[in-house]
Structure 1
Amino acid sequence: MIENLDALALARWQFGLTTLYHFIFVPLTVGMALIVAILQTTWVKTGNAKYLRLTKLFGKIFLINFAMGVVTGIVQEFQFGMNWSNYSRFVGDIFGAPLAMEGLIAFFFEATFIGLWIFGWDKLPKKVHAATIWMVWLGTVMSAYFILAANAFMQNPVGYELNEEKGRAELTSIVDVLLNPVALTQFPHTIFAAIMFAGTVMVAVAAWHLKRNQFVDEMRTTLRFGAVANILAFMGVGLSGHSLGVVMSQTQPMKMAAAEAMYDTATGRDASFSLFSLGTPDGAHEIFSVRIPYLASVLATNSFDGTVEGIRDLQAEYTAMYCGSPDSLLTCPTDGQFAPIIWVTYWAFRWMIGLGAVAALVSLVGLWITRKNTKLPKWVWTVALWTAPLPMLASLVGWIFTEMGRQPWIVFGVMTTEQGVSPGVPAWAVLVSLAVFTLVYGALAVVEFKLIAKAAKEGPPELELDEHGEVDHTAAATVY
């Protein structure tokens, strides 16, 4: 049985699982840092202690999540050397540059100001202290951008040249790498999705307490604040997602074709968006679908009469381009197939949109029904509570679409995934590390959930006053 294990498949599963697990914490860190910064700034401007109490509550949730994100992120990066040494050797000169900038610039910037924020409550002026959490958010945003720039190189390689003598890709322009059109469009899409997740977490925390009639004033504010953030961020996700779709169609047309299960090239009315589709077991033919005319053309080209290339035409084009010469070792898959798994990309794309839309719809309905101080049935709060993970799940399936839709490439048009795996690592070793990571990450997930749930259920802390009637931050800081 051990002999039949596939090291490539196991390495892909391991990297996929650890990456998705790590990304559970990333959007909440980015979004919650912004939420906490807004809450604390509101307290500084208004002097209303309600906002300070909410700052303390969601600041604690932010710090718990941030710590877990750091731990899982470090493990993720080790895999480039463990399981993907060929990839690291071939493109490490380019891929490593934005990752190094993330660690040396963004992370240290972020960590410095987190320290100032945690320990500066009773030492810094209120406005200066509030500025530190804004700097923390700026650090999280910079960190996200550098990592997205590294990922964008895999989607749309730019700023490099191939050194045939050394057999590797070498960086020629860090500016081109950082200003990759894919990174520029992925970035706002990711940030808005993060704000959605933070907004729904706020809604869930508020719903739990309002269901029990606790902290009513603070929780009504929290509920409406989170719902508004969720709705506005969803609008941003939609607009930025459209821009990303246009860029994706230009740089990775096969991914767009797979997302639409579009086997034949279509133009204008025929370039329709599939709401629902059934295909043959081999994924080569469509049996039944429900489509909206013109919509795929608009999504891919910003035009009603645009052309969306089909899977069959692209397969023929890529075969001629990448498999027709003796120099195609790194660019021609063993099986000669350039299309990703159609059902994965097709349904991941729709689940991404659907889960986000449901979360935004629940927030919109919640704003309407809570506009008056009327008593609501408990099932309303239960629905709001279970909305919390929807944007996170949407982000996860969005990344599944992004990465699975790039296959069979690890770097589009430059290197296939099967060529990037470490040659000397046996399948059993990958299996053991996969099992260990799964068990450890499962345990960490339980710890993370319990800590955040405990902080959320405790609600906003009581504030102690000093002899002058001011908030005693020395006592309040012990919350952290």
Structure 2
Amino acid sequence: MDVLELARWQFGITTVYHFLMVPLTIGLSVLVAGMQTAWVRTGDVKYLRMTKFWGKLLLVNFAMGVVTGIVQEFQFGMAWSEYSRFVGDVFGAPLAMEGLVAFFVESTFLGLWIFGWDRLPKRVHLACAWAFSLATIASAYFIIAANSWMQHPVGVEMVDGRPRLTSIWAVLGNNTALTAVPHAVAGCFAVGAAFLVGIGAWHLWRRRDDDGPVWRASVKLGGWVGVVSFAALAITGDLQGKLMFEQQPMKMAAAEALCHTEQPAAFSVFAVGDVTRPDCENVKSITVPALLSFLAHSDFTTEVRGIEQLVGEYQERYGTNYPVDERLGELSGKPIDYVPNLPVTYWGFRFMIGFGALAALASVAVLWLTRGGRVPKSKWFPRLALAGIATPFLANSFGWIFTEMGRQPFVVAPNPSGVDGVWMFTARGVSGLTSGEVLTSLIALTVVYAALAVVEVFLIARYTRAGVAGVMPPDKPESDKPSDTLAFAY
């Protein structure tokens, strides 16, 4: 493999891995803050136990997210230095804001929350939990705003061949970001909800401790949050589809393997055949007539351009061949392939929707099976509940893969109605490294990340098995002096 392909594999592996931790941190942090709020308002020890247990798992995941996230920053300079030079004037502001929120607000209030048990007033301690949880959402907002600029550049002017920021408010208020943020946050809540449902249902089935009310409340909370999250995902996903029709028509065509322009356009539910060929001659699809037109433009008559027509339009606007440049390696002077990887985009889009729907169905099923205090005795119940935890993780991962792969061959996709020239081919963004150098870092990072995965799974499994008893602090000494043992034993 050449440098470009290796660099893309490296960034893809580390990014998808890191994004496994991010949605769980965001979704679970808000849910834990809600549990603590219920305890402060009602005084019910059940909610205190829920806060302690789920907070423990939250912090294990948060720590791993921080470790894996640091590598993302390094990669911009290591493997993608040309890309960093191109976007640096724009990305500096939102990434700096994210850093301030993540490393100052999040870290400060998380520290106060960890060490503040029995030291801070209850409501002050609760405020720290909410400050931390809301800061995780704010941090995600700035990251998604930067990513959305890559999908739809705004708020810049071209100076000496590079975009220069003219309005940070245009970047933060990018309509692409304003639809992507609620969609991503809803996905985070779906992950947190499935986590509660899966582990809570497993503990209910075990019946080995006296914390049945904790697990029932966790399952009920996670189940309803999961259902609401899926509804939010459907609404925000529809809004994103309409923007994609306007901003990245090739991505929409690739998501449907729509090789020929249709009016009205049918939505492909399932395809049989070779979707790797852009002529789609061997593809047979099960379709819903006119549905794609509705998803694109809220009517059943809109024309949706196919891949063949769009390739011609892209060639006319952005050229037929890459420039002759040694930095492009094997692609120097070669024809530009404007068609994204069709199997990845087509099936990635369907896996995203499919696993999201499975997560919602799992929530509904567990709520139904545990209604009225019932707990199924079948061994399949806990296995399926635990397996359901993976479904929103997979939906989130396939969603990001679709989003990033669908804009290829651009790393910064052109804005059809924006400033001319604000786009960058992925092949131009890679650093001037050798294949051996990138392969070495790819192998090293993959090995380190695999080791971290083992550590996280071990810790999560250990504290999950221990249940509430494994996270509750020891009783205070009779002298009523504050215990030197940290409340969470972190």
User: Partner of 1:477 in structure 2?
Assistant: 487
> In structure 2, what is the Cα distance between the partners aligned to 1:362 and 1:190?
20
Q: Which of residues 123, 128, 132 in structure 1 aligns to 2:124?
A: 128
For residue 340 of structure 1, give the secondary structure of its aligned residue in structure 2: coil
| Alignment pair present for 1:363 and 2:363 | yes
Contact 2:197 2:366 in 1 (8 A): no
User: Partner of 2:168 in structure 1?
Assistant: 174
Range that drifts further, 226-235 or 11-20: 226-235
Q: Which of residues 422, 425, 429 in structure 2 aligns to 1:420?
A: 429
> In structure 2, what is the Cα distance between the partners aligned to 1:148 and 1:359?
24
> In structure 2, what is the Cα distance between the partners aligned to 1:253 and 1:244?
12
Q: Which amino acid aligns with 1:343?
A: P
> In structure 2, what is the Cα distance between the partners aligned to 1:333 and 1:128?
63
For residue 479 of structure 1, give the secondary structure of its aligned residue in structure 2: coil
| Alignment pair present for 1:193 and 2:201 | no
> In structure 2, what is the Cα distance between the partners aligned to 1:187 and 1:332?
37
User: Partner of 2:397 in structure 1?
Assistant: 396
- Cα displacement string for residues 200-239 of structure 1 (whole angstroms, at most 9, x for unaligned residues): 1111111221221133221111111111111111111111
For residue 411 of structure 2, give the secondary structure of its aligned residue in structure 1: strand
Contact 1:60 1:479 in 2 (8 A): no
Q: Which of residues 211, 233, 241 in structure 2 aligns to 1:245?
A: 241
For residue 410 of structure 1, give the secondary structure of its aligned residue in structure 2: strand
For residue 154 of structure 2, give the secondary structure of its aligned residue in structure 1: coil
Q: CA deviation at 1:131?
A: 1.1
Range that drifts further, 78-87 or 453-462: 453-462
> In structure 2, what is the Cα distance between the partners aligned to 1:45 and 1:34?
16
> In structure 1, what is the Cα distance between the partners aligned to 2:308 and 2:479?
74
For residue 193 of structure 2, give the secondary structure of its aligned residue in structure 1: helix
Q: Which of residues 94, 97, 101 in structure 2 aligns to 1:98?
A: 94
- Cα displacement string for residues 182-209 of structure 1 (whole angstroms, at most 9, x for unaligned residues): 1111100100101111111111111221
> In structure 2, what is the Cα distance between the partners aligned to 1:333 and 1:371?
65
| Alignment pair present for 1:285 and 2:280 | yes
User: Partner of 1:207 in structure 2?
Assistant: 201
- Cα displacement string for residues 291-336 of structure 1 (whole angstroms, at most 9, x for unaligned residues): 0012111111122222212111111011001117999989999422
327 and 368 in structure 1: CA distance in 2 versus 1, 3 angstrom threshold: same
Q: Which of residues 10, 14, 18 in structure 1 aligns to 2:10?
A: 14
Q: Which of residues 180, 183, 188 in structure 1 aligns to 2:177?
A: 183
> In structure 1, what is the Cα distance between the partners aligned to 2:408 and 2:68?
25
For residue 284 of structure 2, give the secondary structure of its aligned residue in structure 1: strand
- Cα displacement string for residues 41-72 of structure 1 (whole angstroms, at most 9, x for unaligned residues): 00001100011011001111111111111111
User: Partner of 1:69 in structure 2?
Assistant: 65
Q: Which amino acid aligns with 2:343?
A: W
| Alignment pair present for 1:451 and 2:459 | yes
Contact 2:56 2:488 in 1 (8 A): no
User: Partner of 1:265 in structure 2?
Assistant: 261
For residue 117 of structure 2, give the secondary structure of its aligned residue in structure 1: coil
Q: CA deviation at 1:8?
A: 0.5
> In structure 1, what is the Cα distance between the partners aligned to 2:130 and 2:473?
23
Range that drifts further, 426-435 or 91-100: 91-100
> In structure 2, what is the Cα distance between the partners aligned to 1:349 and 1:99?
28
> In structure 2, what is the Cα distance between the partners aligned to 1:159 and 1:450?
46
> In structure 1, what is the Cα distance between the partners aligned to 2:101 and 2:284?
51
Contact 1:107 1:139 in 2 (8 A): no
- Cα displacement string for residues 442-469 of structure 1 (whole angstroms, at most 9, x for unaligned residues): 0000000111111111111346555899
473 and 263 in structure 1: CA distance in 2 versus 1, 3 angstrom threshold: farther
Q: CA deviation at 1:473?
A: 7.7
472 and 354 in structure 1: CA distance in 2 versus 1, 3 angstrom threshold: farther
For residue 266 of structure 1, give the secondary structure of its aligned residue in structure 2: coil
347 and 48 in structure 1: CA distance in 2 versus 1, 3 angstrom threshold: same
395 and 326 in structure 1: CA distance in 2 versus 1, 3 angstrom threshold: closer
> In structure 2, what is the Cα distance between the partners aligned to 1:16 and 1:375?
41
Runs of 4+ residues over 6 Å off in structure 1 = 324-333, 467-474
Contact 2:36 2:51 in 1 (8 A): yes
RMSD: 2.3
Q: Which runs of 5+ in 1 are unaligned?
A: none
Identity %: 49
User: Partner of 2:293 in structure 1?
Assistant: 297
369 and 159 in structure 1: CA distance in 2 versus 1, 3 angstrom threshold: same
- The count of aligned residue pairs is 471
Contact 2:114 2:488 in 1 (8 A): no
Contact 1:155 1:406 in 2 (8 A): yes
Q: Which amino acid aligns with 1:433?
A: S
> In structure 2, what is the Cα distance between the partners aligned to 1:60 and 1:47?
20
> In structure 2, what is the Cα distance between the partners aligned to 1:190 and 1:27?
8
